[in-house]
Amino acid sequence: MMELQITWWVLIGVLLLGYALLDGFDLGVGALYLLTKDPEERKRLIYSIGPYWDSNQVWLLTGGGAIFAAFPMVYATVFSGFYLALMLVLFALIFRAVSLEYQHQLDSPGWRKWWDLGFGIGSLLPSILYGVAVGNILRGIPLDAKGGYLGDFLSLLNPYSLVMGLVSLCLFAMHGGAFIISQSDGALQQKARRWARAAWLALIPLFLIGTAWSYLGTPRLFGNYLSVPLIWVLPLIALIGLAYFPVALKGGRAYAPLSASALTIFGLLSTLAASLFPYIVPASNNLANSLTVFTASSSERTLMIMLILALIGLPIVLTYTAYIYRTFIRRGRSVSTGNHFSVKS
Amino acid sequence: MDVVLLSRIQFAVTAGFHFIFPPLTIGLSWLIVLMQTRYLQTGEELYQRMTRFWLKIFAITFVVGVATGITMEFQFGTNWSEYSRFVGDIFGGPLAAEALFAFFLESAFMGILIWGADRVSKKVYWFSSLMVAVGSTLSALWIIIANSWQQTPAGYHIVNGRAELVDVKAALLNASTVPRYLHTVDGALVTGAFFVMGISAWYLLRRREVVFAKKSMKYALTLALVASLAQIPIGHMHAVQVAQTQPEKLAAIEGHFETEKGASLLLFGIPDEKAGVTHFKIGIPKALSLLATDDLNGEVKGLNAFPKEERPPVFLPFLTFHMMVGLGTFFILFSLWGIWLMRKGTLQDSPLFLKLALWSIPLPLIANEVGWIAAEVGRQPWIVYKLLLTVDGISYTVPAWQILASIILFVLVYSLLFVVWFYLLRKKLAAGPEAFATAAGANKTGTGVGV
C-alpha cells in the first residue's frame, strides 16, 4: 500500500510537472504577449502556440482528475479552501481559451484588442496564482480535524506567497521567452531574448528571497535534506538550469534556452515536492491535521486500478503528443508560414 | 443565503451551459468524419469544402465546450468537497480517465485539424478528424459512467463513512451506464444533425451554395432520421431501467402518485405535489405498466408509496420529461417528412420545411437540457442515490457570499460567451462556404475574407 501511495504521489508530480513544462511555455508566451503591440508579432506569437495550447492544458485536467482519484482528501480540501483563488484561475483560463480561438476570427482591430487583452491577462493571472497557491501549501494552511480549510481568502495573499507568485510568473515568462526564441527569427527573436533575460534577472533575487524566507519561516521544509542528503541533487539541478540560462541565451542555438528553463522548472518543482514529503497539505495550526501521502489517499484497489490505467494511457498520450510536436515544430516554421485556414477565412 | 441552494444553482448554471456545446460538437464531429471519408474516397473538391466549412463552425463551438469544461472538473472540489471526500475513491477515477483517454486525444488532434491542413497528408488529416470524434465520444462515456454511478451506485462498500471501490466492473457498468450513454450520445447525434440541417436549409432558402447545401442536408437528414428513430428502443430501455432501479424517479417524471396495476401513461396532466394527485389527466390506459414492466397489468409504484422526505420534487421532472418526449416525437416526424421530400426531389422547393428546419436548430439542445433536468432533479434529495443526501455533500468551509459572487460572475461571463459565440456563428454563416472556394483554400492568403 505504501509503495502504491508513493507511486501515485510521484505520478501526480509527473503530471503537474508535465503541465508546468508544457502549458508553462504557452502561459509564458501569453504573459509576454502584452509586451508587444505589433499586430504581426502578436499574430506570430499566437501561431507559435496555436496547435498545442489545448492539449498542454489537458495536463492540468489530468492532474486535477488524478488528485481527485488518488488523493480525494487533498482535492476536497485544496479546491474548497482556495475557493475564490481557484475561481479567478478558472475565469482566467476560460477567457484565455476563448481569446486564443476567437482573436483571429474577425478581421477588425477593435475585436482583436479585447481578445488580446483576454489572452494576456488570462495567461498572466494563472501564472501568478499557481505560485501563490504553492506558497500557501509550503507554509501550511490552517485545517480542522476533517481537513477543512479554516482560513479566509485574504490570508492566502500573504507576502511570502505573493513572492512565490512572482517567482512562478518569472519562471513561466522565462520559459515562454525561451520557447519564442526557438520558434522565431529576426527582430522578434531579439525581443524574446531581451524578455527572457529580464525574466531571468528578476527571477534570481526573487528566488533567493523565497529560499531564505522559506528557511526562516518554515524550517520543516529543510528536514528531508538533512536526513536524505541525496536529494540535494534536486536543488542543484535547478541551480544548474538557472546558471546555464544566460549562457544559453548568448549562444545562437535555438533550443538551448528552452532546455535550460525546462531544467530549472524540473529542479524547482522536484525540490518543493521533496521538501514537503510526506505532507501534501501541511496544517499550519496543528501538524496532526495535515494531509499526507499516507493519510489522504484512496483505497489500495483504486490506486492499483488507476495505476494500470495510467501505465496504459500515458505512453499512448506521450506518443501522439510527440508526433504532433514533431509535425509542427520546425525552427521558425510554425510562426513564419502562418497558413492557417481558420485565420484566412 | 443557503449554501446548499447556492451550490446547486451554481452547478445547474455551469453544467447546463456547458451541456449546450458538447452534444453539438459530438454530433458535428461524426458528420465531419463522414465528409472527410467521402473526400478521401472520391477526392472531390465539394467534400473538402464541406469539411472545411463545418470544421470552422465546429472549432468556434468546440472551444466554448473546452473552456466551460474546466469549470466542471474543478467544481466537485470547490463546491462539493464533502461529496468529493465521500466518493473520491470511485468518482475520481472516471474523471482522471476521461482526461487521460479522451481529452488528450481530442485536443491533440484538434490541433492538427485546425492548424495542420497544409502540414499533414490527407490520410493523417482524415485520421485526426476520426480521433477528435472518437475522443469526444469517449469523453462522454467517462462522464456518463461517473454520473450513472451517482444515480445507481454499485460495486462499492462503505468504510469509515466513505464509499470504497470493491468491484470495478460493477461500478463502471452500473445499472444505468449503458442506457444513459446510448441515450445521451444518440441525443448528441440528433443535435448535430439538426444543426447542419437547419443551416443547410438557411442556404437553400436563400438559394446560396445550393449544391453544397443539398449535399450537407442529405447527410444531416439521414443521420437525423436514423438517430431519432433509434431513441425509441434506447429511450424504452432507459425507462425500464429507471422503473427498476429508481422507482421514485419514474413516478415523479410520470406524475404518478398512487401505486396501481395497469397504470396509464400520461400525455397531459398537472401534478399537485401538496395534494398528492395529478389533475386533468389524459393518458393511454395501461401503457405505463406495459412500458415499465412489459406487462399490461404490471404494478407501478406511486410516489405516495415512498417516505415524504425521500420523494423527489414532481413538477419539474414531470414537465421536463414530457417536453423531452414531445420533442423526440417531433424529431422523428420531422425527419420522416424531410426524407420524403428529399426522395420526391422537392426539398429545396419547400420553404415551409426549410424554415421549420432552420427554427428547429435549438430544439434538440432544449431536449438535451430538459432530459438532463428530469434525470438530475428526479434523483433528489440524493446526491448519491440512497447513500448521500445533497445537503450533506457541500463544501462547509466556503462562505455563502463567495458562492453568490461566483454565480454572478459565471452568469455574466457565460452570457457574454454565448453572445459572442452566436455573433461569430452568424458572421461565419453569412460569409458562407464560398470562403473555402479553392481547392488549396488553406494556402489562400490575403483574400481579405475577414468574416
Q: Do B120 and A327 touch (CB under 8 A)?
A: yes
Instruction: List Cβ neighbours of A57 (8 Å cut-off, separation of 6 or more).
Output: A23, A93, A97, B70, B107
**Rounded CA gap, A304 and B174, in Å?**
20
Euclidean distance between the first and the last CA atom of chain A, given in angstroms as a whole number: 56
What phi and psi values does residue B439 have, to the nearest 5 degrees?
Answer: -60, -35
**Rounded CA gap, B144 and A170, in Å?**
40
Which sequence spans correspond to the domains of chain B? Answer: 3-431
Give whole-number Cα distances, A245 to A178, A238, A239, B153, in Å.
9, 11, 10, 53
Query: Residue B165 forms beta bridges with which residues?
Result: B156
In sequence order, what DSSP letters do the residues of B290-339 get, joined into one string? HHHHSSTT-EE--GGGS-GGGPPPSHHHHHHHHHHHHHHHHHHHHHHHHH
- Distance from B159 to chain A by nearest Cα, in Å? 10
In sequence order, what DSSP letters do the residues of B350-416 get, joined into one string? -HHHHHHHHHTTHHHHHHHHHHHHHHHHTTTTEEETTTEEGGGSS-TTS-HHHHHHHHHHHHHHHHH
**Rounded CA gap, A86 and B71, in Å?**
10
**Rounded CA gap, B399 and A270, in Å?**
34
Q: What is the mean pLDDT of residues A310-339?
A: 74
Find the residue in B nearest to A327 (Cα).
B119
Q: What percent of chain A has pLDDT over 90?
A: 63
Which residues of A fall within a CB distance of 8 Å from B76?
Answer: 68, 75, 79
| Residue located via cell numbers 445547474 | B12
**Rounded CA gap, B18 and B401, in Å?**
24
Find the residue in A nearest to B166 (Cα).
A301
Give whole-number Cα distances, B381 to A273, B120, B385, in Å.
41, 52, 8
The pLDDT, as a whole number, for residue A334 is: 43
The size of the A-B interface in CB pairs under 8 A is 263
Instruction: List Cβ neighbours of A46 (8 Å cut-off, separation of 6 or more).
Output: A33, A100, A103, A104, A119
- Distance from B339 to chain A by nearest Cα, in Å? 33
Q: Are B115 and B82 in contact (CB under 8 A)?
A: no
**Rounded CA gap, B257 and B308, in Å?**
12
Q: Do A65 and B442 touch (CB under 8 A)?
A: no
Q: Do B107 and A102 touch (CB under 8 A)?
A: no
At A343, is the secondary structure helix, strand, or coil? helix
At B119, is the secondary structure helix, strand, or coil? coil
Q: Are B264 and B297 in contact (CB under 8 A)?
A: no
pLDDT of A252-305, one tens digit each?
788 899 999 999 999 999 999 999 989 999 998 888 889 999 988 888 889 999
**Rounded CA gap, B306 and B289, in Å?**
18
Which residues of B fall within a CB distance of 8 Å from A146?
Answer: 85
> Cβ atoms within 10 A of the Cβ of A2, count?
10
**Rounded CA gap, A160 and A214, in Å?**
8
The pLDDT, as a whole number, for residue B325 is: 92
Q: The C-alpha cell of A6 is what?
A: 508513493
Instruction: List Cβ neighbours of A157 (8 Å cut-off, separation of 6 or more).
Output: A132
Among B55, B90, B261, smallest CA distance to B164 is for: B90
**Rounded CA gap, A339 and A344, in Å?**
8
Query: What's the whole-number average pLDDT of chain A?
Result: 89
**Rounded CA gap, A201 and A262, in Å?**
17
Helix locations, A218-299, DSSP H? 223-227, 233-250, 256-276
- Distance from A296 to chain B by nearest Cα, in Å? 10
Find the residue in A nearest to B79 (Cα).
A80
CA atoms within 13 A on the CB side of A141: 30
**Rounded CA gap, A9 and A281, in Å?**
12
Q: The C-alpha cell of B132 is what?
A: 477528435
Cα-Cα-Cα-Cα dihedral of A319, A324, A327, A333, to 10°?
A: -140
Whether the predicted pLDDT of A332 surpasses 80:
no
Q: Do A105 and B60 touch (CB under 8 A)?
A: yes
- Distance from A342 to chain B by nearest Cα, in Å? 7
DSSP secondary-structure letter at A290? -
**Rounded CA gap, B364 and B27, in Å?**
11
**What is the value of ipTM here, to two decimals?**
0.87
Q: Do A79 and B91 touch (CB under 8 A)?
A: no
The pLDDT, as a whole number, for residue B445 is: 36
Residues of chain B whose pLDDT is less than 50?
438-451
Q: Do A148 and B107 touch (CB under 8 A)?
A: no
Whether the predicted pLDDT of A333 surpasses 80:
no
Q: Which of B89, B101, B108 sits opposite A302 (nearest CB)?
A: B89
- Distance from A203 to chain B by nearest Cα, in Å? 30
Among A143, A150, A131, A167, smallest CA distance to A279 is for: A143
Q: Do B436 and A98 touch (CB under 8 A)?
A: no
DSSP secondary-structure letter at A283? B
Q: Do A55 and B104 touch (CB under 8 A)?
A: yes
| Residue located via cell numbers 503537474 | A16
**Rounded CA gap, B405 and B407, in Å?**
5
**Rounded CA gap, A289 and A142, in Å?**
9
Among A182, A175, A169, smallest CA distance to A245 is for: A175
Among A51, A41, A3, smallest CA distance to A340 is for: A51
B13 close contact with A: CB closer than 8 A: no
At A32, is the secondary structure helix, strand, or coil? helix
**Rounded CA gap, B253 and A68, in Å?**
33
The pLDDT, as a whole number, for residue B437 is: 52
Among B309, B317, B316, smallest CA distance to B250 is for: B317
Q: Are A332 and A184 in contact (CB under 8 A)?
A: yes
Residue type, position B394, single letter: I
**Rounded CA gap, A30 and A176, in Å?**
8
pLDDT of B156-166, one tens digit each?
999 888 899 88
- Distance from A57 to chain B by nearest Cα, in Å? 9
pLDDT of B318-331, one tens digit each?
999 999 999 999 99
The pLDDT, as a whole number, for residue B451 is: 27
The pLDDT, as a whole number, for residue A280 is: 92
Q: Which of A65, A93, A150 sits opposite B95 (nearest CB)?
A: A65
Find the residue in B nearest to A150 (Cα).
B397
B424 close contact with A: CB closer than 8 A: yes
Q: Are B2 and B395 in contact (CB under 8 A)?
A: no
- Distance from A145 to chain B by nearest Cα, in Å? 13
**Rounded CA gap, A90 and B406, in Å?**
10
pLDDT of A101-147, one tens digit each?
898 888 888 888 889 999 999 999 999 999 999 999 999 999 988 88
Instruction: List Cβ neighbours of B136 (8 Å cut-off, separation of 6 or more).
Output: B22, B25, B26, B29, B102, B106
Which sequence spans correspond to the domains of chain A? Answer: 2-217+275-334
Whether the predicted pLDDT of A201 surpasses 80:
yes
* B234 alpha carbon, distance to own chain's centre: 15
B451 close contact with A: CB closer than 8 A: yes
B415 close contact with A: CB closer than 8 A: no
Residue type, position A239, single letter: L
Which residues of B fall within a CB distance of 8 Å from A101?
Answer: 59-60, 63
